[in-house]
Amino acid sequence: MIDLIVEPFQYSFMVRALFVSSMIGIICPVLGSYVVIRGMGFMGDAMAHSVLPGIVIALIVGVSPFLGSVPMAILVAVTVGYLIRSKAVTEDTAFGVLFAGLFSIGLVIISVAGGLAVSVEDILLGQILGVSNSDILISFILTMVVMISLIAFHRQLIFSGFDPVGSVVAGLNVGALNYMFLILLGIAIVVTLHVVGVVLVVGLLVTPSAAAQLVIRRFTKAMMLAISFGLISAVTGL
Protein backbone atom coordinates (compact mmCIF):
# COMPACT_ATOMS: atom_id res chain seq x y z
CA MET A 1 0.00 0.00 0.00
CA ILE A 2 2.78 2.42 0.96
CA ASP A 3 4.71 1.52 -2.19
CA LEU A 4 1.63 2.36 -4.25
CA ILE A 5 1.57 5.84 -2.71
CA VAL A 6 5.33 6.51 -2.82
CA GLU A 7 6.12 5.04 -6.24
CA PRO A 8 4.71 7.91 -8.37
CA PHE A 9 7.05 10.37 -6.64
CA GLN A 10 10.05 8.78 -8.33
CA TYR A 11 9.17 11.08 -11.21
CA SER A 12 10.17 14.74 -11.06
CA PHE A 13 6.85 15.99 -12.44
CA MET A 14 5.03 14.33 -9.53
CA VAL A 15 7.38 15.95 -7.02
CA ARG A 16 6.76 19.35 -8.61
CA ALA A 17 3.02 18.70 -8.55
CA LEU A 18 3.17 17.73 -4.86
CA PHE A 19 5.11 20.88 -3.98
CA VAL A 20 2.77 23.26 -5.77
CA SER A 21 -0.31 21.40 -4.46
CA SER A 22 0.94 21.82 -0.90
CA MET A 23 1.64 25.49 -1.57
CA ILE A 24 -1.86 26.29 -2.78
CA GLY A 25 -3.28 24.02 -0.07
CA ILE A 26 -1.86 26.55 2.39
CA ILE A 27 -2.27 29.91 0.65
CA CYS A 28 -5.90 29.40 -0.42
CA PRO A 29 -7.30 28.55 3.04
CA VAL A 30 -5.26 31.36 4.64
CA LEU A 31 -6.56 33.99 2.23
CA GLY A 32 -9.94 32.28 2.11
CA SER A 33 -10.37 32.84 5.85
CA TYR A 34 -10.37 36.60 5.24
CA VAL A 35 -12.58 36.14 2.17
CA VAL A 36 -15.24 34.30 4.19
CA ILE A 37 -15.47 36.87 7.01
CA ARG A 38 -15.82 39.60 4.37
CA GLY A 39 -18.54 37.70 2.51
CA MET A 40 -16.51 37.79 -0.72
CA GLY A 41 -16.81 34.17 -1.83
CA PHE A 42 -18.37 35.05 -5.18
CA MET A 43 -15.60 37.55 -5.87
CA GLY A 44 -12.96 34.84 -5.88
CA ASP A 45 -14.86 32.97 -8.58
CA ALA A 46 -15.52 36.15 -10.55
CA MET A 47 -11.89 37.25 -10.45
CA ALA A 48 -10.71 33.80 -11.58
CA HIS A 49 -12.89 34.09 -14.67
CA SER A 50 -11.96 37.73 -15.24
CA VAL A 51 -8.24 37.03 -15.76
CA LEU A 52 -8.92 34.71 -18.72
CA PRO A 53 -8.12 37.39 -21.36
CA GLY A 54 -4.72 38.00 -19.77
CA ILE A 55 -3.88 34.29 -19.83
CA VAL A 56 -4.97 33.89 -23.45
CA ILE A 57 -3.08 36.98 -24.65
CA ALA A 58 0.10 35.76 -22.91
CA LEU A 59 -0.23 32.36 -24.62
CA ILE A 60 -0.76 34.02 -28.01
CA VAL A 61 2.32 36.21 -27.55
CA GLY A 62 4.30 33.15 -26.44
CA VAL A 63 5.22 34.21 -22.91
CA SER A 64 4.44 32.73 -19.50
CA PRO A 65 0.73 32.90 -18.58
CA PHE A 66 1.84 34.58 -15.34
CA LEU A 67 2.93 37.63 -17.35
CA GLY A 68 -0.63 38.04 -18.59
CA SER A 69 -2.67 36.88 -15.63
CA VAL A 70 -0.91 38.82 -12.84
CA PRO A 71 -1.32 42.29 -14.46
CA MET A 72 -4.89 41.37 -15.43
CA ALA A 73 -5.72 40.33 -11.86
CA ILE A 74 -4.26 43.56 -10.47
CA LEU A 75 -6.17 45.61 -13.07
CA VAL A 76 -9.44 43.89 -12.15
CA ALA A 77 -8.77 44.37 -8.42
CA VAL A 78 -7.99 48.08 -8.80
CA THR A 79 -11.01 48.62 -11.06
CA VAL A 80 -13.37 46.92 -8.60
CA GLY A 81 -11.79 48.78 -5.68
CA TYR A 82 -12.34 52.08 -7.45
CA LEU A 83 -15.96 51.28 -8.31
CA ILE A 84 -16.67 50.26 -4.72
CA ARG A 85 -14.93 53.29 -3.24
CA SER A 86 -16.76 55.67 -5.57
CA LYS A 87 -20.02 53.95 -4.53
CA ALA A 88 -20.99 53.69 -8.20
CA VAL A 89 -21.98 50.03 -7.73
CA THR A 90 -21.87 47.35 -5.04
CA GLU A 91 -19.04 44.80 -4.82
CA ASP A 92 -21.13 41.94 -6.23
CA THR A 93 -22.39 44.08 -9.09
CA ALA A 94 -18.89 45.21 -10.06
CA PHE A 95 -17.53 41.67 -10.04
CA GLY A 96 -20.61 40.32 -11.82
CA VAL A 97 -20.17 42.74 -14.72
CA LEU A 98 -16.43 42.11 -14.99
CA PHE A 99 -16.94 38.35 -14.60
CA ALA A 100 -19.32 38.11 -17.54
CA GLY A 101 -17.62 40.72 -19.70
CA LEU A 102 -13.98 39.70 -19.38
CA PHE A 103 -14.65 35.96 -19.46
CA SER A 104 -16.64 36.44 -22.67
CA ILE A 105 -13.80 38.49 -24.16
CA GLY A 106 -11.38 35.70 -23.26
CA LEU A 107 -13.52 33.09 -25.00
CA VAL A 108 -13.83 35.30 -28.08
CA ILE A 109 -10.04 35.72 -28.24
CA ILE A 110 -9.61 31.95 -27.94
CA SER A 111 -12.02 31.26 -30.81
CA VAL A 112 -10.52 33.97 -33.03
CA ALA A 113 -6.86 33.15 -32.34
CA GLY A 114 -6.96 29.35 -32.51
CA GLY A 115 -3.89 27.12 -32.24
CA LEU A 116 -3.06 28.00 -28.63
CA ALA A 117 -0.16 26.21 -26.95
CA VAL A 118 -2.58 24.73 -24.41
CA SER A 119 -6.15 23.50 -24.68
CA VAL A 120 -9.19 25.30 -23.33
CA GLU A 121 -9.67 22.40 -20.90
CA ASP A 122 -6.25 23.07 -19.37
CA ILE A 123 -7.16 26.71 -18.84
CA LEU A 124 -10.53 25.90 -17.30
CA LEU A 125 -9.52 22.83 -15.27
CA GLY A 126 -5.76 23.31 -14.78
CA GLN A 127 -2.86 21.02 -15.60
CA ILE A 128 -1.06 20.25 -12.38
CA LEU A 129 1.22 17.58 -13.88
CA GLY A 130 2.51 20.10 -16.42
CA VAL A 131 3.92 22.50 -13.82
CA SER A 132 7.52 23.48 -14.65
CA ASN A 133 10.37 24.57 -12.38
CA SER A 134 9.92 28.18 -13.49
CA ASP A 135 6.20 27.97 -12.69
CA ILE A 136 7.05 26.75 -9.20
CA LEU A 137 9.56 29.57 -8.67
CA ILE A 138 7.11 32.27 -9.78
CA SER A 139 4.30 30.70 -7.73
CA PHE A 140 6.52 30.54 -4.66
CA ILE A 141 7.56 34.19 -4.97
CA LEU A 142 3.96 35.34 -5.44
CA THR A 143 2.81 33.15 -2.54
CA MET A 144 5.45 34.66 -0.23
CA VAL A 145 4.37 38.18 -1.25
CA VAL A 146 0.78 37.34 -0.31
CA MET A 147 1.70 35.61 2.97
CA ILE A 148 4.04 38.39 4.15
CA SER A 149 1.42 41.03 3.34
CA LEU A 150 -1.29 39.11 5.21
CA ILE A 151 0.96 38.69 8.25
CA ALA A 152 1.90 42.39 8.23
CA PHE A 153 -1.72 43.58 8.03
CA HIS A 154 -3.41 40.71 9.88
CA ARG A 155 -5.02 42.76 12.66
CA GLN A 156 -6.20 45.51 10.32
CA LEU A 157 -7.75 43.02 7.89
CA ILE A 158 -9.59 41.22 10.67
CA PHE A 159 -10.85 44.48 12.18
CA SER A 160 -12.06 45.88 8.86
CA GLY A 161 -13.54 42.50 7.92
CA PHE A 162 -15.62 42.07 11.07
CA ASP A 163 -16.44 45.76 11.66
CA PRO A 164 -15.96 48.04 8.61
CA VAL A 165 -17.66 51.02 10.26
CA GLY A 166 -15.75 50.66 13.50
CA SER A 167 -12.44 50.42 11.65
CA VAL A 168 -13.18 53.71 9.86
CA VAL A 169 -13.99 55.36 13.19
CA ALA A 170 -10.75 53.96 14.62
CA GLY A 171 -8.81 55.73 11.86
CA LEU A 172 -7.91 52.81 9.61
CA ASN A 173 -7.57 53.54 5.90
CA VAL A 174 -10.21 51.01 4.90
CA GLY A 175 -10.11 52.03 1.25
CA ALA A 176 -6.39 51.26 0.97
CA LEU A 177 -6.89 47.99 2.86
CA ASN A 178 -9.62 46.95 0.43
CA TYR A 179 -7.41 47.75 -2.56
CA MET A 180 -4.55 45.75 -1.06
CA PHE A 181 -6.77 42.80 -0.18
CA LEU A 182 -8.30 42.63 -3.65
CA ILE A 183 -4.83 42.69 -5.22
CA LEU A 184 -3.63 39.91 -2.89
CA LEU A 185 -6.75 37.93 -3.73
CA GLY A 186 -6.02 38.36 -7.43
CA ILE A 187 -2.40 37.22 -7.04
CA ALA A 188 -3.39 34.14 -5.02
CA ILE A 189 -6.01 33.24 -7.61
CA VAL A 190 -3.43 33.51 -10.39
CA VAL A 191 -1.15 31.09 -8.53
CA THR A 192 -4.04 28.67 -8.03
CA LEU A 193 -5.32 28.94 -11.60
CA HIS A 194 -2.32 27.13 -13.04
CA VAL A 195 -3.02 24.14 -10.81
CA VAL A 196 -6.80 23.74 -10.57
CA GLY A 197 -7.95 25.98 -13.42
CA VAL A 198 -10.57 28.71 -13.61
CA VAL A 199 -13.52 26.52 -12.64
CA LEU A 200 -12.29 25.05 -9.35
CA VAL A 201 -10.50 28.03 -7.80
CA VAL A 202 -13.41 29.14 -5.64
CA GLY A 203 -13.77 25.64 -4.17
CA LEU A 204 -10.24 25.59 -2.82
CA LEU A 205 -10.43 29.23 -1.76
CA VAL A 206 -13.73 29.16 0.12
CA THR A 207 -14.69 25.59 1.09
CA PRO A 208 -11.87 24.76 3.59
CA SER A 209 -12.26 28.14 5.33
CA ALA A 210 -16.05 28.02 5.45
CA ALA A 211 -15.99 24.46 6.80
CA ALA A 212 -13.41 25.36 9.45
CA GLN A 213 -15.39 28.39 10.63
CA LEU A 214 -18.45 26.18 11.08
CA VAL A 215 -16.44 24.03 13.50
CA ILE A 216 -14.36 26.69 15.29
CA ARG A 217 -15.42 30.28 15.95
CA ARG A 218 -12.01 31.73 16.87
CA PHE A 219 -10.47 33.15 13.70
CA THR A 220 -6.84 32.05 14.10
CA LYS A 221 -7.72 28.49 15.14
CA ALA A 222 -10.25 28.25 12.33
CA MET A 223 -7.53 29.32 9.89
CA MET A 224 -5.23 26.54 11.12
CA LEU A 225 -8.01 23.99 10.67
CA ALA A 226 -8.74 25.40 7.21
CA ILE A 227 -5.08 24.92 6.26
CA SER A 228 -5.36 21.28 7.35
CA PHE A 229 -8.47 20.84 5.21
CA GLY A 230 -6.79 22.57 2.26
CA LEU A 231 -3.61 20.49 2.44
CA ILE A 232 -5.53 17.23 2.74
CA SER A 233 -7.77 18.17 -0.19
CA ALA A 234 -4.91 19.32 -2.44
CA VAL A 235 -2.59 16.38 -1.76
CA THR A 236 -5.37 13.77 -1.84
CA GLY A 237 -6.62 15.18 -5.12
CA LEU A 238 -3.15 14.80 -6.58
Average pLDDT over residues 127-139: 81
- H-assigned helices in 38-118: 41-50, 52-61, 65-85, 91-113
Half-sphere exposure of 180 (CA within 13 A, CB side): 19
Average pLDDT over residues 102-126: 75
Q: How confident is the model at residue 228 (pLDDT cuts 50, 70, 90)?
A: very high
Per-residue HEC secondary structure of 149-214 comes to: HHHHCHHHHHHHHHCHHHHHHCCCCHHHHHHHHHHHHHHHHHHHHHHHHHHHHHHHHHHHHHHHHH
Please write the tens of the pLDDT for every residue from 160-176.
888 877 888 888 888 88
Average pLDDT over residues 85-109: 78
Average pLDDT over residues 103-120: 76
Residue-range domains of the chain with CATH:
20-237 (1.10.3470.10)
pLDDT for 224:
92
Residue 184 has pLDDT above 80, yes or no: yes
Residue 1 has pLDDT above 60, yes or no: no
Please write the tens of the pLDDT for every residue from 62-82.
787 778 888 888 888 888 777
Residue 148 has pLDDT above 90, yes or no: yes
Residue 4 has pLDDT above 90, yes or no: no
Nearest to 49 by CA among 22, 21, 76: 76
Residue 46 has pLDDT above 60, yes or no: yes
CA distances from 236 to 5, 9, 19, 21, 32 (A): 11, 14, 13, 10, 19
